[in-house]
Chains A and B, each alone.
Chain A
Amino acid sequence: MKGASYQPKTDEWAIEATALVKVFGKHRAVDGVDLAVRKGTVYGFLGPNGAGKTTVIRVLATLLKPDGGSASIFGHDLGTEGDEIRSRISLTGQYASLDEDLTGMENLVMMAKLMGYRRSEAKVRAGELLHAFGLEEAAKRQVKNYSGGMRRRIDIAASLVVTPDLLFLDEPPAGLDPRSRNQVWDIIRALVSGGTTVMLTTQYLEEADQLADRIAVINKGKIIAEGTSSELKASVSTGTLNIQLADAADRPQAMRIMEDKLAVAVHSSSDAASLTAQINDSFRVADALAELARQKIAVSDFSFGRPSLDEVFLTLTGHAATEDEPQPEEGAS
């Protein structure tokens, strides 16, 4: 029985994939991806547009046949046990995948009936979900008249008519305001505490950081890093040093001193009085600050912390997470 006291059996895998390949024409959209996702966890799949995230999800959800490699979902082989897999998973795609001409209620009743509920039970279940997702007032409105956040919620609700063992969420907060985004995050947390495994793709590093137990970074069809968010951050460098100078005129001199003492590249940011550097030896930081003081360069503020996932991404791929291959439908920045 699922409930609050559910403990994931960490020795079991929800997803195991080996050397997955998917080719579209000459483009290797997925190029040898290995994955292992534990039951009852949130797995973040992080990468820029066109990196292959959606393709991997579509392969794992039985929508696309892989051109190479193998995968199993809860131990069921992707190639031969599609029906068994389909009865345990749900997919919420990037775009609201409901009938926009039907009302929210009608959509959920339809989904419930397609999952095997009888008509009367389907209505009860649809009502329950509308209530839980705060959509009761919109129950009799056509989905095409819903706001972005409501659409996203009804879309996720449709995936939960029967609580899946594994939910694929493709870019859950795409185009949502912060409040709706938080609601989606709450839904994901509630699902996981109920025992569901969630695999979500995202370009929002903050989201992966907040939700995911483990994160895989994908770029050009290949996984380039995998681990917990702390592991990923630690793998890149010890941290980031930010220095704010009292006088912007000191910056060239301060930059020379710091490069000399830190032995790494120091970057001048757009703020004319600030400098940043990726540090891999924290002992040198004190040294550099002491040298600045000796040279009578006043520092008004400084911070030294672990890198954000954005910085991790930048280091791993050589470009920022959300600036790659801008696509017309995505306004992420």
Chain B
Amino acid sequence: MTEFVEQREKGENELRLAESIASSKRPKPPSGISSTLTFATRALLRIKHVPEQMFDVTVFPVIFLLMFTYLFGGAIAGSTEEYLQFLLPGILVMTVSQITMYTGIDLNNDIRKGIFDRFRTLPIWLPSALVGSLLVDIVRYSMAAAIMISLGFALGFRPEGGWLGVLGAVALILVFAFSLSWIWTILGLIMRSEKSLMMVSFMVLFPLTFVSNVFVDPRTLPNWLQSFVEINPISILATAVRGAMHGTATVQQVMLVLVVSVVMTAIFAPITIYLYRNKK
């Protein structure tokens, strides 16, 4: 009797399988925009299911801002409130630059888990997998910026450039973050384990963000270090962002950030796509 039921169940299963296989149609491959949006949706769904991954754009910025304001405020500027006017734009630049690193880690995970191979056998515009998640990252960075600036206000940050200046500054940071992300996607494609990827990413990030004008005025540094700080893209961005927030930015400062961003994207995005297509 049970055997009979099992037999019948098996027959039904086979029928359903055969039907679902036969009923499949073959739509036209999606457009680049459509597949990009699908990958962006995936990134949003990941946030929904793993909300902990938002720590880097919520808790992290709060800790950074409080820590550095009260740690260095008295020593460097005499008062925390005064230091905050100088520090906030810079620490915003530093925080967002650092969290761009997770783009590479996500890609590296995709590769090691095999889903990357599945995407590569699809008839889609391949960069859409990366561009889609970068779009959602932009949303994440905006969140980090909003949280930090709000907290800054509560602590006494008063930007002289007004709202427009602040929004312009955030826009500059987002453009720069997008271009910086391509470095992490390259590393994410090259490095074999998450551990080594983290290590190399920090090796790039720490000197880049700390040896800049984020915390201190570069004039207090020895000459040889000053020249590095001046060409450091993080300093270039921090200068423009500080200027925009306090209403003193020059066209030259802003243009410089845009040029740096375009150059970084022009160099690192094609390398990423090349590695992505030819990944072993």
Contact = CB atoms under 8 A, between A and B. Distances in A.
B31 to A, nearest CB: 9
B54 interface: no
Nearest to A91: B121
Contact of B22 (A86, A117, A125, A194): A194
Contacts of B195: none
A116 interface: yes
Most buried by B among A58, A87, A115, A142: A115
Interface in A166-190: 186-187, 190
A327 B244 CA distance: 57
Given A93-B114, A190-B14, A86 B42 contact: no
Interface in B120-155: 120-124
A94 B230 CA distance: 50
For this complex, into which size category does the number of interface residues on chain B fall? 35 or more
Contact of B123 (A87, A97, A102, A190): A87
A129 B115 contact: no
Nearest to B17: A190
Contacts of B38: 110, 113-114
Interface stretch (B43-51, B79-87, B180-188, B221-229): B43-51
Interface in A124-164: 125, 128-129, 131-134, 142, 158, 160-163
B13 interface: yes
Interface string B87-124: 00000000000000000000000000111111111111
B118 A102 contact: no
**Chain B interface, DSSP helix/strand/loop, else mixed:** helix
Given A110-B41, A113-B30, A116-B29, A91 B118 contact: yes
Contacts of A100: 113
Given A97-B115, A129-B20, A86 B123 contact: yes
B219 interface: no
Interface stretch (A7-15, A61-69, A214-222, A260-268): A61-69
A170 B49 CA distance: 29
B278 interface: yes
B18 interface: yes
A323 interface: no
Given A83-B123, A114-B38, A190-B14, A128 B117 contact: no
Contacts of A96: 113-114
Given A101-B49, A194-B21, A65 B278 contact: yes
For this complex, into which size category does the number of interface residues on chain A fall? 35 or more
Contacts of B115: 97-99
B23 interface: yes
Given A3-B22, A91-B121, A100-B113, A117 B41 contact: no
Contact of A2 (B22, B114, B119): B22
B24 interface: yes
Contacts of B78: none
B49 A163 contact: no
Interface string B41-76: 110011001100000000000000000000000000
Nearest to A83: B123
21 contacts: A2-B21, A62-B120, A86-B121, A86-B122, A93-B117, A97-B115, A98-B115, A99-B115, A102-B49, A106-B42, A113-B35, A114-B30, A114-B35, A114-B119, A132-B16, A160-B20, A160-B21, A163-B24, A186-B17, A193-B18, A194-B22
Given A58-B117, A160-B24, 11 more contacts: A2-B21, A3-B22, A61-B121, A63-B279, A95-B113, A95-B114, A97-B116, A115-B27, A129-B20, A132-B17, A163-B21
